[in-house]
Amino acid sequence: MKALCLVFISIIFLNCTSLTIKDRPPSVYVLGSIHGGMLEEPNYTLQDFISVLYKYKPTLIFTEVRPEYSDAIDGVMHGAVEQSIVYAYAKESGAQVVPVDWHNDDYNLESDQDYQRAKAFKKELQPLRDQFIKSISSLVESQSPVTQNIIRKRYDILASHGLIALRKRDAHICENIKKQKDNLAKGPVLIVFGVAHKYYLEDCIRELGIQPLNFESWYGAEKAKNAMATKALAENSVKTLKAAKELLDVRLRAGYYKTDVTNLNDVLKELDKWIEKVSRLNP
């Protein structure tokens, strides 16, 4: 009888381990970044951000970079500066990077208009903003369902007043992600966007019949402390940051941009600080 049980258990084990990649349920996590806040926040630092990459070990990464561009430089200038780190990690690990962001001049104009119009509803939005600022002061809390609900409520209020620019952008990003549906089984998949996009992109993944992972189900803060940035990652990231700074400076001086100029000038000013901070990750 004991022998029969062992045979039965062995058959089950073999059947489970013989699953193909396509048969396995996709593993997807949406990482909400706080962008430049990582340079200042003591509990959500660049090292914390990097620890997620090394702990999760994604083999496929969807980035806050537009599909019409092939590397991180556009992401640094127009999406999120920390994409320089994401691409450096991918180069080091062999992970595939797929840009899925979306925005254009029309969106930039509408977004600026929404920002100005939202000031009329400051009293209504301020309590949620205060909760949001507090909730993103640590890596773990920034990823929590509580924080995502705060963000969702804020954008619900904006939408009730006809301010829907960001949701339009999120809808296009979701379309780009859905185009990659057949590749999701190649994971673990990591989606890296600003934390304001996280709740919407998690909803997008659910629409595909996939339950995005909960942060605390796989991330151990104590073990993650050992996930330090390598010298290669720091050097490759700095190289991208310097290239982005040079190109952005040239374009701004030449009048290349017709919209979003103020924001891009702010990005240019911040790049030196990023270069300095990233250089210190592995001196």
Cis peptide before 188 (omega within 30 of 0): yes
Contact yes or no for 7/17 (Cβ under 8 A): no
- Residue 223: its pLDDT value, please? 66
- Residue 26: its pLDDT value, please? 81
- Residue 18: its pLDDT value, please? 40
The single-letter DSSP state of residue 203 is H
- pLDDT tens digits, the chain, 283 residues: what are they? 444 444 333 433 334 344 344 455 689 999 999 999 999 999 999 999 999 999 999 999 999 999 987 678 988 888 789 999 999 999 999 999 999 999 998 998 999 999 999 999 999 999 999 999 999 999 999 999 999 999 999 999 999 999 999 999 999 999 999 999 999 988 899 999 999 999 999 999 999 999 999 999 999 877 667 788 999 999 999 999 999 999 999 999 999 998 889 989 999 999 999 999 999 997 6
Contact yes or no for 232/89 (Cβ under 8 A): no
As a whole number of angstroms, the distance between CA 195 and CA 82 comes to 13
* Token pair for 15: 């059947």
* Token pair for 215: 């942060």
Residues 6+ apart with CB under 8 A from 257: 251, 264
- Residue 16: its pLDDT value, please? 39
As a whole number of angstroms, the distance between CA 136 and CA 150 comes to 11
As a whole number of angstroms, the distance between CA 29 and CA 154 comes to 23
- Residue 220: its pLDDT value, please? 84
- Residue 2: its pLDDT value, please? 43
Buried (b) or exposed (e) across 187-201, using 16+ Cβ within 10 A? Answer: bbbbbbbbbbbbbbb
The string of DSSP codes covering 38-78 is GGT-SBS-HHHHHHHHHHH--SEEEESS-TT--SHHHIIII
Which residue blocks in 94-230 are alpha helix, DSSP H? 105-118, 122-135, 139-142, 145-160, 165-178, 195-207, 221-224
Cα 267 to the center of its chain, rounded Å = 18
Q: How far apart are the first and last CA of the chain?
A: 62
